[in-house]
Amino acid sequence: MRSLKLFLRPSTGVRNISSLILPETHSKLKNVCREFSEAELRPVAATLDKQQMFPSDQIKKLADLGILGVVVDKKYGGSGSDSLALSIAVEEISRCCGGTGSIVSIHNALYAGIINKVGTPEQKLQFLQDFISRGIVGCFALSEPGSGSDAANMHTLAKREGDHWILNGTKAWVTNGIEGGAIIVIARSDVSKSHSGVSAFIVPTNTPGLTRGKRDDKLGIRAASSCNIILDNVIVPVENMLGNEGDGFKIAMSGIDLARIGIASQAIGISQAAMDCAIDYAGNRTAFGNPIIKLSAVQQRLAKMATRLEASRLLTWKAAWLRDNNLPFTKAASMAKLEASQTATYVTHNCIQILGGIGYIADMPAERHYRDARITEIYAGPTDIQYLVIAEKLAKEYGYKTR
């Protein structure tokens, strides 16, 4: 099987994608990921969803392709590529299986990407190289039962004792939590401070005192596990701290910005799958003597779906381009995530409307696309939070403050 590393070179600076034509290496990547997804994911996606089954075989094959280390430096086993490449890969995977797209997106953006960016060489060797080569996924634990978007209100504590830290608390909705080999845990290391009193730690999941809660029984992306992570006097060596003490909130937010590009890409892939389903059905379903694609009402739905889908993709590619060229991208990532996630809900809803009754039953993939789409408006900051982020950045550009 061909590896991603054969097609992608390290990012080489400013690249103009306003021509709407992907660079050659990224076009090849798109084709590789599409071929893989059609062969390895589409035939099993419904089963993975129904049985809440982690796609372990497919994840190992994706690791062989280099997809578990898209933004990781080559010397640590990654592909040394960029966030546009990650966006393309996640979209194509999500087009055939939204759950697998979530696994790949979260692992790359909120585990591998963070460690590659701020980890020490020793941390990268231990928690990146081996994971990427063996197909082991990582996790990210920020949210808690009582603090989701209000992340600064977390209650998980980290106490320094000699050459180690002791962690106590409960993290919630940890994607890849059941299968993950290590978790980036965000915890409060100084209760007298707000954001600057938060630190980040790499915690192997086999560490004594760390236990997993039951697997969440979710509406969608059911191939991707999530669960609570309970930390009961978990001892973490000082060398497992990411960055410096007090850097945790900054590290988390930088990872979430990339995660929003990944989730936007996931939403686009789900939307594209629903769009394909709707057009194929409309072109073959006959009513009133003609294929229903000849009906004006159906044409209007399809036109609106296609337009919003294309706009979402361009917003997402712009956010990725900004990040890849070391330009501010927080607002663009929120815009992409906001529009792509709402578009996924809109497109999958209209797909079911075009299919009618058959779209409501599990014999067709339309209802799975609809369920998978809903999470994209929730995790890494729900729609309402994206409005706040965009407004704050917009006001700042004009010299104003929102708070």
Torsion, Cα 139 141 142 147, to 10 degrees, reads 130
Q: Is 107 helix (H, G, I), strand (E, B) or coil?
A: helix
Cβ atoms of residues 157 and 171 within 8 Å? no
Q: Is 166 helix (H, G, I), strand (E, B) or coil?
A: strand
With b for 16 or more beta-carbon neighbours within 10 A and e for fewer, the 328-347 pattern comes to ebbbbbbbbbbbbbbbbbbb
Cβ atoms of residues 103 and 176 within 8 Å? yes
Nearest CA to 36 out of 7, 11, 76, 64 is that of 64
Residue 42 CA to residue 36 CA, distance in Å, equals 9
Q: Is 226 helix (H, G, I), strand (E, B) or coil?
A: strand
Q: Retrieve residue 100's tokens.
A: 């697998």
Residue recorded with tokens 């585990």: 111
Nearest CA to 346 out of 400, 379, 383 is that of 383
Complete DSSP assignment for 353-385:
HHHGGGGGSTTSTHHHHHHHHHGGGTTTS-HHH
What pLDDT is stored for residue 3 in this prediction? 60
Residue 352 CA to residue 288 CA, distance in Å, equals 20
C-alpha to C-alpha distances, 35 to 48, 67, 128, 250, nearest whole angstrom: 19, 14, 26, 37
Q: 0.85 cut: is pTM over it?
A: yes
Residue recorded with tokens 């080569």: 133
Q: How confident is the model over 336-387, as pLDDT tens digits?
A: 999 999 999 999 999 999 999 999 999 899 999 999 999 999 999 999 999 9
What pLDDT is stored for residue 160 in this prediction? 98
What pLDDT is stored for residue 17 in this prediction? 43
Residue recorded with tokens 């590529």: 81
Nearest CA to 76 out of 15, 31, 10 is that of 10
Mode of pairing for the β-strands spanning 286-287 and 290-291? antiparallel
User: Residue 180's beta-bridge partner residues?
Assistant: none
Find the radius of gyration of the CA atoms of the chain: 21
Q: Enter the DSSP assignment of 141.
A: E
What pLDDT is stored for residue 147 in this prediction? 86
What pLDDT is stored for residue 174 in this prediction? 98
Nearest CA to 119 out of 241, 259, 247, 297 is that of 241
What pLDDT is stored for residue 21 in this prediction? 80
Residue 381 CA to residue 340 CA, distance in Å, equals 13
Write out residues in the chain with pLDDT < 70, as ranges. 1-20
Output the CA angle 303-43-56, nearest 5 degrees: 115
- The kind and range of the H/E element at 9 are none
